[in-house]
Chain A
Amino acid sequence: MRSKLHRAKPRKNQKTRIRKFKRLRQIRKVPHSEHSEGQKLTETRSDQAVIEKMAIEAGFLASSGIHEGERSCEHMQQSLKSWYRHKMTGEMSFSEVVQLSLAFSRGYTVTARQLGDFLPLPLHGTASVIITASNEEKTLPSVIAQLRRLPFHEIIVVLNGCTDGSYEAVEDHPSVIKLNYPDRLGHDVGRAIGASAATGDILLFTDGDLPLRAEELAPYIISVDRGDDVALNNLSPYLPPFSEQDEVSRSKTFLNQCLGRSDLKANSMTAVPHALSRRAINTIGTASLIVPPKAQALALVHGLKVTAPYTVDVIRNNRVRSGNTGAGNTVARLITGDHIEAIGEAMRIKGIRLGFKTLSRSELAKVRNGI
Chain B
Amino acid sequence: MIRKRKRNTRKVSKVHIHRKRAVRKTVQRLHNHPEPLVSIIIPAMNEKATLPDVLREAGRVHPRSEIIVIANGSTDGTPEVARRLGAKLIVSETPLGHDVGRRIGASVAKGSILLFIDADMVIPAKQLRPYVDAVVSGVDVALNGYSGPTAKKKSHPVVVAKYVLNAWMLRPDLQGTSMTAIPHALSRRALDVIGLESLEIPPLAQAKAVAWGLNVQAVHTVPVGRLNPIRRKNGDEDILTSLVAGDHLEALHWLIQHRGVRGGFDDLGRLRDKVR
Q: Are B265 and A353 in contact (CB under 8 A)?
A: no
Q: Are B239 and A357 in contact (CB under 8 A)?
A: yes
- Which stretch, A73-81, A117-125, A235-243, touches the partner chain B? A235-243
Instruction: Report the nearest A residue to B264, measured CB to CB.
Output: A337
Contacts of B154 in A (CB 8 A): 242, 262, 265
Given contacts A241-B152, A254-B161, A368-B97, contact A193 B268 (CB under 8 A): no
Q: Are B246 and A242 in contact (CB under 8 A)?
A: no
- Which stretch, B31-39, B178-186, B213-221, B228-236, touches the partner chain A? B228-236
Contacts of A257 in B (CB 8 A): 157, 160-161, 245
Q: How many residues of A contact B (CB 8 A)?
A: 64
Q: Are A362 and B249 in contact (CB under 8 A)?
A: no
Contacts of B269 in A (CB 8 A): 184, 186
CA distance in complex: A186, B160 (Å): 29
Q: Are B261 and A367 in contact (CB under 8 A)?
A: no
Instruction: Report the nearest A residue to B151, measured CB to CB.
Output: A241
Q: Are B270 and A188 in contact (CB under 8 A)?
A: yes
Contacts of B159 in A (CB 8 A): 242
B131: Cβ under 8 A from any A Cβ: no
Instruction: Report the nearest A residue to B164, measured CB to CB.
Output: A254
Contacts of B152 in A (CB 8 A): 241-242
Our pick among B161, B242, B261, B270 for the contact of A185 (Cβ within 8 Å) is B270
Instruction: Report the nearest A residue to B45, measured CB to CB.
Output: A369
CA distance in complex: A330, B100 (Å): 40
Q: Are A368 and B236 in contact (CB under 8 A)?
A: yes
- Which stretch, B9-17, B50-58, B188-196, B250-258, touches the partner chain A? B250-258
- Which stretch, A41-49, A297-305, A341-349, touches the partner chain B? A341-349
Q: Are A189 and B240 in contact (CB under 8 A)?
A: no
Q: Are A192 and B275 in contact (CB under 8 A)?
A: yes
Which residues in window 120-157 of A have CB below 8 A to B? Answer: none
Our pick among A186, A327, A357 for the contact of B246 (Cβ within 8 Å) is A357
Q: Are B271 and A186 in contact (CB under 8 A)?
A: yes
B200: Cβ under 8 A from any A Cβ: yes
Given contacts A243-B150, A341-B262, contact A357 B268 (CB under 8 A): no
> Shortest CB–CB separation between residue A343 and chain B, in angstroms?
6
Instruction: Report the nearest A residue to B94, measured CB to CB.
Output: A362
Contacts of A365 in B (CB 8 A): 45, 72-73, 95-98
Q: Are A340 and B153 in contact (CB under 8 A)?
A: no
B77: Cβ under 8 A from any A Cβ: no
B163: Cβ under 8 A from any A Cβ: yes
A15: Cβ under 8 A from any B Cβ: no
Q: Are B239 and A359 in contact (CB under 8 A)?
A: yes
Given contacts A286-B275, A340-B263, A357-B239, contact A253 B160 (CB under 8 A): yes
What mask results when residues 89 to 116 of chain B are scored 1 for a CB within 8 Å of chain A, else 0?
Answer: 0000011111110000000000000000
B3: Cβ under 8 A from any A Cβ: no
A25: Cβ under 8 A from any B Cβ: no
CA distance in complex: A301, B145 (Å): 35
Contacts of B161 in A (CB 8 A): 254, 257
> Shortest CB–CB separation between residue B45 and chain A, in angstroms?
5
Contacts of A287 in B (CB 8 A): 272, 275-276
Give 23 pairs: A residue, B residue, CB < 8 Å, sorted on A: A186-B267, A186-B270, A189-B271, A189-B272, A189-B275, A240-B153, A242-B155, A247-B167, A250-B160, A251-B164, A287-B276, A334-B268, A340-B262, A343-B256, A354-B249, A357-B239, A357-B243, A362-B97, A363-B95, A364-B97, A364-B240, A367-B239, A368-B97
Closest 6 CB pairs of A and B: A337-B265, A186-B270, A365-B95, A361-B97, A356-B246, A337-B262
Interface residues of B (CB under 8 A from A): 45-46, 72-73, 94-100, 150-155, 157, 159-161, 163-164, 167-168, 172, 200, 229, 231-232, 236, 239-240, 242-243, 245-246, 249-250, 252-253, 255-256, 261-272, 274-276
